Structure 1
Amino acid sequence: MTAALPSSTEVIAAHDAALAVAPAPVDADDVRGWISVNHFHNRSLWAQEDLARRTQAPDAEIVANKRAIDRHNQARNDAIERIDEFLLAALGLVDPATLASALPRSTVAPGARLNSETAGSMLDRISILGLKIAAMREQTLRADVDDAHRQACGERLQRLVQQRADLGQCFDELLADSRAGRAYFKVYRQFKMYNDPRLNPALIAESK
């Protein structure tokens, strides 16, 4: 089962391929599907964040942008948790009976180090770096700016590409170490309280 785990090279290629076509919602029933879902919501977040920073748009449009950001951010975090669940199950590092619970129980060998960042969170960061790379590349191709702007953006683009490659290597090493029993990670529930009408004090007050 571990042979089917995605590599960073595969994920980066899938991210870049997705950016070459119009965004569309994704259904998921496996880890690769949830990686695509995460990337879709990061892409949607990026677009909404740009729109939310307009200074001449009506207030109602900015409010709509902010609410869309909140929805996509929640879905993005949900996808990260699902990615971690699938990867941990494939690696045999979690008790399957507890996987969907608030506190999935790790089943790791003594002596394995706990990685502070989950594999799903790393893939989320790789997704965001892909968006930054695509956006920065567009800046290097602009005809309405001077050479200094294009050069500065070209240098930033090189750094972003290196950062994504470095993070991809760290992701591959984490999976390899986890497979070998040297490391492990957990599912960390985000518990976004502000999205829950039972936990957000402002929403509770509105309901009374």
Structure 2
Amino acid sequence: MNFTDIAWNIFNQSIEDYHVLDNVNTLINNPYEKDSLERILYAKNWIDTVQWHLEDIIRDENIDPAEALQLKRTIDQSNQKRTDLVEFIDSWFLKKYESITPKSDAKINTETPAWAVDRLSILALKIYHMSLEANRESASEEHRLNCQEKLNVLLMQKEDLSTSITQLLTDIENGNVKMKVYKQMKMYNDESLNPILYQKGQQK
């Protein structure tokens, strides 16, 4: 079983585990060994799954404004954790391939392996929820058929993305692609970089 198959199975395990209670306040119970890549992948998708449902909740037109503000801050924190884990996964790949010397004509990919894996994690969520809609008995036949068409496209995208990730990792291993990582350097959570935050601090 290659890396993308392993990651896909872990993502779906995380999604299924979350939906046992289907509650954004459920604490993660990561079944994988400490410091293992599998544990990191499970944690990554758990964050994505919780955030998926937070994004649903905040779109309720009747939500209390104070609750919406708190949810927005929770989503911001979740985004930061998500970014941190993606960068941690890239660090894992950098360590794995540190002994490989890229060829002189090695290419640089538009995204790192971990950011491609991030898209695979989100895709697992899209497929899970679109499948629910395609089979929802309370929906109209037209709705189910439309969702099935979308699900078919998502499944095709899953195959293409999985293949692309596998090809990218193979190219890195063979020295045909140079792995280069840039930190995201998100600014909105940093009190020294977000002008709203640092101007507020200067006014005290």
TM bracket, shorter-chain basis: 0.7 to 0.9
Q: Which residue of the partner structure matches residue 8 of structure 1?
A: 4
Q: What residue in structure 2 maps to residue 168 of structure 1?
A: 162
Identical pairs, percent: 31
Correspondences of 1:41-52 after superposition (within 5 Å): 41-52=47-58
Counterpart of 1:42, as a letter, is: D
1:100-148 alpha-carbon deviations (Å, 9 max, x no partner):
xxxxxxx633211111111000000000000000110110121222101
Q: Hey, what's the Cα distance between the residues in 1 that align with 2:89 and 2:55?
A: 24
Q: After superposition, what is the alpha-carbon deviation per residue over 1:50-100, rounded to whole angstroms, capped at 9, x for unaligned?
A: 111110111011111111110111111111111111012101268xxxxxx
Distance across 2 between alignment mates of 1:93 and 1:190: 25
Which residue identity is paired with 2:5?
T
Q: Which region of structure 1 is more displaced relative to structure 2, 180-189 or 24-33?
A: 24-33
Q: Which runs of 5+ in 2 are unaligned?
A: 19-25
In structure 2, the CA distance between the partners of 1:80 and 1:6, relative to structure 1 (3 Å rule), is farther
Instruction: Please list, as runs of the form range in 1=range in 2, the aligned pairs for 1:49-198 lying within 5 A after superposition.
Output: 49-92=55-98, 108-198=102-192
Computed over aligned residues only, the root mean square deviation of the Cα atoms, in angstroms, reads 1.9
The one-letter code matched in structure 1 to 2:15 is: L
Q: Deviations over 1:150-190 (max 9, x none)?
A: 00101101111110111011000111111011112222211
Distance (whole Å) between structure 1 residues aligned to residue 159 and residue 178 of structure 2? 21
Secondary structure in structure 2 of the residue aligned to 1:125: helix
Structure 1 length-normalised TM: 0.86
Aligned equivalent of 1:98: none
Amino acid of the structure 2 residue aligned with 1:10? I
